């Protein structure tokens, strides 16, 4: 009887040990915040107005038309407006279907994929000296050497420093021109296709964003970073504001777009919470 008890106890201890070992070997995702009142909120979205920057081929920009503004016949104030905007302009989300057939549209992206711990990759020093700078795998590995491996479920935010130029089109885009011919004049940093491939294949990220008009740099004609990320259903946030106000690690991003059914992109209201 004692032998049976001892053997059962040994089996239980062994099982507990291997369970603990298995759990300890799994990558640990950061826990969500529990008290949002104990922290600071940072707005990552530029207002949509006459100064909003759109791609050079979009000459209409953002329009806000007055339906009514003033005192009604019943003597109370009332205002209402109509607006029009392209999907891709200002602070916005690129849905994977934008460059990957059959991948998620705006409304199909799970909300859980748009909320998560932010990891800030700061390449502002490199980008200030090179308008066509491409964030490389080496940049990502250098970050990990200092901060540790990118946690699963992270939202990557690339800080190039170009948010300081908003809304100056010349400084932000590299050109003030409009129309198809202006596209060849675009100069701003982006993500190297190899880095996009490394993030999508070697790391488990929810989404990626940056403070420039596109995840591909201004001179891109093949939009490879878009295509690589979107093939893996990883959405992109573009024209983000105030990334310089976020710590390298420790903040949480909530990036919720207008829920456009079947959309390839949408205006985005992105915020960050800093404990």
User: Which residues participate in catalysis according to the annotation?
Assistant: 98
Helix count (H) and strand count (E) of the chain?
A: 6, 12
Contact 85, 64 (CB under 8 A): no
Contact 25, 257 (CB under 8 A): no
Cα separation, 93 vs 106, in Å, equals 8
Cα separation, 78 vs 59, in Å, equals 31
DSSP state string for 122-183? E-HHHHHT-TT-EE-HHHHHHHHHHH-SPPTTEEEEEE-SGGGGTT-HHHHHS----SGGGG
């Amino acid at each position: 009887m004692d032998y049976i008890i001892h053997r059962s106890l040994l089996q239980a201890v062994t099982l507990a040990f291997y369970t603990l070992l298995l759990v300890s070997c799994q990558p640990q995702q950061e826990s969500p915040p529990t008290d949002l009142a104990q922290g600071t909120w940072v707005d990552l979205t530029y207002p949509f107005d006459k100064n909003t920057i759109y791609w050079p081929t979009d000459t209409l920009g953002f329009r806000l038309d007055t339906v009514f503004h003033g005192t009604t016949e019943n003597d109370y104030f009332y205002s209402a407006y109509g607006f029009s905007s392209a999907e891709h302009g200002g602070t916005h989300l690129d849905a994977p279907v934008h460059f990957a057939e059959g991948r998620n549209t705006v409304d199909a992206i799970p909300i859980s994929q748009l909320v998560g711990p932010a990891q800030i990759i700061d390449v502002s020093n490199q980008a200030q000296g090179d308008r066509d700078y491409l964030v490389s795998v080496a940049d990502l590995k250098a970050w990990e050497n200092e901060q540790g491996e990118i946690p699963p479920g992270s939202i990557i935010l690339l800080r190039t420093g170009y948010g300081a130029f908003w809304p100056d089109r010349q400084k932000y885009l590299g050109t003030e021109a409009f129309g198809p011919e202006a596209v060849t004049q675009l100069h701003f940093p982006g993500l190297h296709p190899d880095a996009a491939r490394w993030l999508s294949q070697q790391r488990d990220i929810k989404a990626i964003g940056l403070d420039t008009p596109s995840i591909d740099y201004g001179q891109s004609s093949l939009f490879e970073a878009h295509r690589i990320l979107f093939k893996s259903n990883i959405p992109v946030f573009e024209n983000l504001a105030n990334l310089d106000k976020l710590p390298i690690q420790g903040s949480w991003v909530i990036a919720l777009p207008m829920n456009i059914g079947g959309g390839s992109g949408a205006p985005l209201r992105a915020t960050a919470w800093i404990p």
